[in-house]
Amino acid sequence: MTITQLQYVLAVAEHKNFTLAAEKCFVTQPTLSMQIQKIEEELNILIFDRSKKPIQLTDIGQKIVSQAKNIVNEADRIKDIVEQQKGFIGGEFRLGIIPTIMPTLLPMFLNNFIKKYPKVKLLIEELNTEEIILKLKNGHLDAAIAATPLEDEKIKEIVLYFEPFVAYIPEHHASFQKEEIEVADLNLNEILLLQDGHCFRDGILNLCKSVSDVDQNNFQIQSGSFETLIKLADEGLGTTLLPYLHTLDLKESDKLKLRNFKEPKPAREVSLIYPKSELKMQIIDALRSTIAGVVKGAIVFQNVQIISPLQKKAQ
């Protein structure tokens, strides 16, 4: 049994297709077929049920694949250990970022990071929380930045900062006169939210539910970007909530419509998250310290009330 064979098994298990799996492994299909057969023969069991289309894992195949993931992960970490020892920080690193964090946080640290660690090739992807969790688990991402806590057994979190929400109230709205507003002033029916799947939206839904349990079957507009929401709010269609960092980029005229919450401010916890396997920890730590450096001073908030992305709205 070789590590290569296990990698082939994992590739087939993932793609449910020998030909495609072979491509991903940079070998021809017969090579991969033979090696799979060889390990099946050595263990004297069938890992894949080739009679089904697409190909299925057998019961024992499931267990073997899960164990093979362990082994391959642990094996990968050897190179990691060596690089860490050499003090080398480099190589490809795939980072996922949720859409509501990407445009504000990325410009703050990217320049610093690539200057400080020129040998790291960062591959950044905008993904929603569910996609991120999936890709962290199957190894297609090395780490990600998302709202936490996730309370996922297989994922570790390092909190980067707390980002409060700020209300955007159009001029003709009742609450516009208030200097500061309270969570109780919010009404889910008039808040414009991002489209489903964005965890930020889930967070806001929780916020409102905790105050007034309104019925869910109301008229709602769902948009993909905050700019749309701001324009809709200006058109008199309601209010919206913006994460603090987003408010910094607004026009002066729009900033007048922002209202801070009274303390404890509702806020989201933003963390660097990565799989428990802890591969490429040097780069993860480099990211953490770089972001911590730029964030320090930019967003320091205490006495905030964390809105968890966890509890999804009732379906």
* Nearest to a second copy of 64, 287 (CB atom): 64
Q: Which stretch binds a second copy (CB under 8 A): 37-45, 48-56, 183-191, 282-290?
A: 37-45
- In angstroms, rounded to a whole number, what is the distance separating the alpha carbons of residues 66 and 10? 9
Query: Is residue 27 within the footprint of a second copy (CB under 8 A)?
Result: no
- In angstroms, rounded to a whole number, what is the distance separating the alpha carbons of residues 33 and 133? 31
Query: Is residue 30 within the footprint of DNA (CB under 7 A)?
Result: yes
Instruction: Give the closest residue to 290 by CA, choosing from 143, 123, 116.
Output: 116
Choose, by CB under 7 A, the member of 14, 33, 122, 292 that binds DNA.
Answer: 33
Query: Is residue 86 within the footprint of a second copy (CB under 8 A)?
Result: yes
Choose, by CB under 7 A, the member of 11, 36, 147, 287 that binds DNA.
Answer: 36
Residue corresponding to tokens 């090739």: 121
Residues 68 and 6 sit within 8 Å (Cβ to Cβ):
yes
Helix (H, G, I), strand (E, B) or coil at 78: helix
- In angstroms, rounded to a whole number, what is the distance separating the alpha carbons of residues 20 and 202? 36
Query: Is residue 27 within the footprint of DNA (CB under 7 A)?
Result: yes
Instruction: Give the closest residue to 240 by CA, choosing from 207, 202, 191, 201.
Output: 191
* Nearest to DNA of 24, 262 (CB atom): 24
**Residue 228 CB contacts under 8 Å (≥ 6 apart), including other chains:** none
Query: Is residue 12 within the footprint of a second copy (CB under 8 A)?
Result: no
State in angstroms the smallest separation of the CB of 85 from a second copy.
Answer: 5
Choose, by CB under 8 A, the member of 26, 44, 215, 297 that binds a second copy.
Answer: 44
C-alpha torsion 157→158→160→164, nearest 10 = 40
* Nearest to a second copy of 70, 210 (CB atom): 70
Residues 138 and 238 sit within 8 Å (Cβ to Cβ):
no
Q: Which stretch binds a second copy (CB under 8 A): 58-66, 154-162, 171-179, 287-295?
A: 58-66
Q: Which stretch binds DNA (CB under 7 A): 14-22, 90-98, 104-112, 144-152?
A: 14-22
Instruction: Give the closest residue to 74 by CA, choosing from 290, 275, 251.
Output: 275
| Contacts with DNA, residue ranges (CB under 7 A) | 2, 4-5, 16-20, 26-31, 33-38, 50, 53-55
Binding site for a second copy (CB under 8 A): 1-4, 43-45, 59-60, 63-64, 67-68, 70-71, 74-75, 77-79, 81-82, 85-86
